[in-house]
Amino acid sequence: MKIWFRISVCLVIVGCFIVLLVLRTFKETEVQPEAAKKDVKKEVEFKKDGYRQDETITRVDKRLQLPIELHDFYLKNPGQQLDDITNLQVNPDLSNAVVIFLNSAIRDKTLDEVTRNNMANALLGQRSPDPHLYLIFLKMIDDLGESYQWREYCVQHLARTAETSSDPKRVVEKLKTLMKDGEMGIPGTALLHLHRLEENGTIHLDASYTDNVIKLLNSPNADILVRISAIGVLAERGAKEALPTVRILARDKTPTLRRVALAALGLIGEQTDESILQAATENGGNDGTRDAAQGALKLMKGRVPLSSEPAVQTPEKF
């Protein structure tokens, strides 16, 4: 009797163990999708031609979806990736699969910025660019997680979308905002491209644009590249109201500012500015100042009579 009792107890224990095992297996099956999500964060490593690159499983999944032309893109080193994308720039009729890939990959912060820049060139160089492409550049400009250099690139690309954008007004308004509130050299990039857009007839700028450019020029806290862009644009627009500041900068201690200001005097300067240019031709060093002044004098000569030129006498009438 005792033996049968012991056998019964053993059978009960084994049965309980089997039930627990089944329940545990079922539970693991239930959480498997969640575990799979966590696996996405795991890093895997690829090695090719001695190049090591840390990737995530998310990137691997993306690699499997690449167009056939770029099937091994994420297995290549940065130089090879750049070559692949650079070659795409000359094709104005890329396949839909390649365009979709570029629209996605251009947002990949792990890629080299020159490669991303060429992705933008390829997309903008299509015979029929995506009219919503501007939205990608707007988002990257506002993403402070992007480098300053890349956001400055995006300002240039945003301006290029104005002609084919589904909302050109939004593009122009963003450029005007960046012209006022952008950091470092971004206001200069924005104001220059607004000027170029008006030159090619895409937009029309009112008087407030010139006023804002002059404000940037007069601001001692503005980045030097912004002031250089401002001088060039104002000179091209014939904005004589900028002359007081341009005259001061023509004697500035910064060679680059001085050269640009001297060149601007050649375009918008008056006869009285000849003395500034003459002094620069005589006293300018080897930093290009003398050449800039000589070139400006030639430009001025075609616009206003210079005191250094002999007066042309007209014959008297009898």
d(CA 116, CA 108): 8
pTM of the model: 0.73
276 closest CA partner among 302, 303, 258, 257: 258
**Is 26 part of a structural domain of the chain?**
no
**Is 122 part of a structural domain of the chain?**
yes
**Is 53 part of a structural domain of the chain?**
yes
* Measured CA distances, 63 to 13, 83, 281, 283 (Å): 51, 18, 60, 61
Give the dihedral of Cα atoms 259, 260, 266, 271; nearest 10 deg: -70
Task: Write down the pLDDT at residue 282.
Answer: 83
Task: Write down the pLDDT at residue 310.
Answer: 46
Task: Write down the pLDDT at residue 302.
Answer: 74
**Is 227 part of a structural domain of the chain?**
no
Q: What is the mean pLDDT of each run of 10 residues along the chain (318 residues)?
A: 51 50 46 38 34 36 70 93 95 94 94 97 96 96 95 97 95 96 94 96 94 93 94 94 94 91 92 88 76 89 63 40
Number of domains comprising the chain: 1
**Is 90 part of a structural domain of the chain?**
yes
**Is 250 part of a structural domain of the chain?**
no
Task: Write down the pLDDT at residue 15.
Answer: 54
**Is 110 part of a structural domain of the chain?**
yes
Task: Write down the pLDDT at residue 173.
Answer: 97
Q: Which domain holds residue 92?
A: 42-130
**Is 47 part of a structural domain of the chain?**
yes
d(CA 40, CA 34): 10
Task: Write down the pLDDT at residue 46.
Answer: 33
